[in-house]
Amino acid sequence: MRNNPALSVSALFLLCCGMQAQVQSAPVPTGGGAITLGPSAQNYFQPKAHIDLDLLAKLMLVKPGPVLIATDDVIHVSLAEPSTFDATVRVERNGTITLPYIATVGAAGLSVPELEQRIAELLEQDQYVRQPVVKITIDQQPSSTILISGDVVKPGTISIYGGQTLDHAIAAAGGFLPTASSVLTITRAGYDEPISVPIGPDPTHSAYGGLVLLPGDRVLVSRTGTYYVVGAVKTQGPYPLKSSTPTTVAEAIASAGGYGFEAILDSSKIVRTEGDHRVMISVPAGKIIRGKAKDIALLNDDILFVPTSALKAAVKGGGTGLVVSLASTYLYTHP
């Protein structure tokens, strides 16, 4: 199920109730300890973001290649010594630039040192300057840009002339918004699927902050997902997942104001969407809260359902409800 603002809490509640008769629950191993993102049991689903650690290790070894001048670049050409030979020019579509004294020079595909040497040779060849020392700076390089979008302060195109790392690119975009996910994706030429990067809440201290970006990369900083809590809790509804650390079952119940007297905690369920179908995962919420079972991380679009004891609900509702409930129970057991 995807985020749908129009989806009511009642609909979520009915969905959870209806699924109990349709979906086989996936048990969660018990035992106190740390949060688990997914036990090794085959019927427990892993987080949706696929993180290829081997691929990330290889990408961390990538170094910026030589900076080559390209068409549409804007470069500034001058001499080390004070001189009238000073020009800011754009590289034409045919790859050339036009300079004083020496007219047209091929520039596209050359590195800065190579073009400096080429211009110096032409100046000396035509005897305009003896032993010239040419200085070139690239003012604009449209071909060396990346696009960063999503939950950053200033999304847009960022120049990576001379090489740019992921943490510097995020800083150039103004940093993360509070709603930013701790896992971003990079779409890169030559890769069939976007690359998931667990950047964490602070890119400057991330193990992957130094990942080198390449021209044409598209970085998407997704928004933290949403989970739902329904059933025997104080405040049913949607809640945002935390961006920096996993949001767990115990935290979700606390965020919903705690559980009610009528709750059957150890019969709680997580309704999770996997592909085009839903599964129901058994959650011993009572044991989790008491520290007797591992807490469980929620994923985007998860529904945490805390079921209600009819008898306890009747007691909570008052004497009349209790009498009706007891009478119904008697009639059911004594036809």
| Residue ranges making up the domain that contains 103 | 74-140
pLDDT tens digits for range 118-134: 999 998 887 777 888 99
Same-domain pairing of 42 and 60: no
Is the pLDDT assigned to residue 84 strictly greater than 90? no
pLDDT tens digits for range 21-73: 444 444 444 443 333 343 333 333 334 557 899 999 999 999 887 888 999 99
Domain count, the chain: 3
In the prediction, which pLDDT does 264 show?
A: 92
> 332 lies in a domain?
no
**Between 330 and 189, where is the model more confident?**
189
Q: Both tokens of residue 19? A: 């699924």
Give the mean model confidence (pLDDT) for residues 198-207: 91
CB neighbour list of residue 63: distance below 8 Å, 6 or more residues apart? 163, 212
User: Domain boundary residue among 175, 199, 221?
Assistant: 221
DSSP states along 111-167: BHHHHHHHHHHHHHHTTSSSS--EEEEEEE-TTSEEEEEESBSS-EEEE-TT-EEHH
Label residue 256 by pLDDT band (50, 70, 90): very high
In the prediction, which pLDDT does 45 show?
A: 31
pLDDT > 90 fraction of the chain, expressed in percent and rounded: 52
Same-domain pairing of 202 and 287: no
Same-domain pairing of 169 and 108: no
User: Exposed, middle or buried by CB within 10 Å (0-12, 13-18, 19+), for 306?
Assistant: buried
Q: d(Cα 328, Cα 322) in Å, to the nearest integer? A: 10
Q: d(Cα 261, Cα 138) in Å, to the nearest integer? A: 69
| Coil, helix or strand at residue 250 | helix
Q: d(Cα 85, Cα 83) in Å, to the nearest integer? A: 5
List the end-to-end C-alpha distance of the chain, in Å, as a whole number.
42
Do residues 23 and 275 lie in contact, with contact meaning Cβ atoms separated by under 8 Å? no
Same-domain pairing of 269 and 317: yes
| Coil, helix or strand at residue 7 | coil
Do residues 296 and 36 lie in contact, with contact meaning Cβ atoms separated by under 8 Å? yes
Strands in 303-306's sheet, in edge-to-edge order, are: 25-26, 277-283, 268-274, 303-306, 226-231, 237-240
Q: d(Cα 182, Cα 51) in Å, to the nearest integer? A: 12
Same-domain pairing of 264 and 206: no
Q: d(Cα 98, Cα 96) in Å, to the nearest integer? A: 7
In the prediction, which pLDDT does 214 show?
A: 92
User: Domain boundary residue among 221, 248, 270?
Assistant: 221
> 292 lies in a domain?
yes
Same-domain pairing of 249 and 313: yes
Distance (Å) of CA 284 to CA 37, 60, 140, 287, 309? 15, 40, 59, 5, 15
> 333 lies in a domain?
no
What is the DSSP secondary structure assignment for residue 313, as one 8-state letter? H
144-161 in b/e form (b: 16+ CB < 10 A) is: bbbebebbbeebeebbbb
- Bridge-based pairing state of the strands 277-283 and 25-26: parallel
Same-domain pairing of 231 and 217: no
